[in-house]
Amino acid sequence: MRKTNPMRSFSRFILSLFGWHIKGSIPANIRKCVIIAAPHTSNIDFVIGRLAYYVLGVPVKFLIKKESFKGPIGWLLKKMGGIPVDRSRSNNLVDQIAHLFTTADQLNVVITPEGTRKLVKTWKKGYYYIALKANIPIVLGFLDYKRKETGFGPLLYPTGDYEKDFQKIKAFYEDKTARFPEKFNLSPVH
């Protein structure tokens, strides 16, 4: 008899309680990927997304500012898969994360290209270059508050032509509604 995972059951219950549904999945043969988490305009985005990963049984790591790792919450964030990031200085994060993929049998790293919950004019490109360097796909993870859906869209294998690939990414996210729509921007990147 298969043992029930209490975190999976709890997460399913909480998402259901608030009317959220999970759509799509990461194909079973994909053992390494960068997962975009967008739109990202609220702290609640993290909670909904993390619950969905527990429901699906998808092991993930996620990048989060190092300041969040202080005190008991820091222990919890690490336990949940958090990787602290020092945003105050340039530290070659793309190379560091790409290297993690070369040493792991399975690794899914969630990245918010917006880099913050505030309105940004352009997405950070680190997620793209990590996937390109590690030769792995980008999975388009999403939250849609209008439909109360979270989950995964298509895979994108980066070609090295960021502008062209971003047009495909943009097309996927154009109909997704952020918790705070005025803070979500898909304008062309520079």
Give, rounded to a whole angstrom, the gap between the first and last alpha carbons of the chain. Answer: 54
d(C-alpha 94, C-alpha 61), whole Å: 15
pTM (two decimals): 0.87
Which stretch of DSSP H or E encloses residue 161? none
Per residue in 127-159, pLDDT (tens digit) is: 999 999 999 999 999 999 999 999 999 999 999
Per residue in 90-128, pLDDT (tens digit) is: 678 888 899 999 999 999 999 988 877 787 788 889 999
pLDDT at res. 149: 97
Helix 126-134 to helix 162-173 angle (10° resolution) is 120
- Written in H, E and C, the secondary structure of 76-114 is HHHHHCEEEECCCCCCCHHHHHHHHHHHCCCEEEEECCC
86, two tokens: 């020092």
* Sheet strands side by side (includes 107-111): 21-23, 149-156, 138-144, 32-38, 107-111, 61-65, 82-85
d(C-alpha 61, C-alpha 184), whole Å: 23
Which stretch of DSSP H or E encloses residue 15? helix 6-17
Burial of 68 (0-12, 13-18, 19+ CB in 10 A): middle
pLDDT at res. 10: 95
Q: E-strand spans in the chain?
A: 21-23, 32-38, 61-65, 82-85, 107-111, 138-144, 149-156
Confidence of residue 190 (pLDDT cuts 50, 70, 90): very low
d(C-alpha 128, C-alpha 84), whole Å: 19
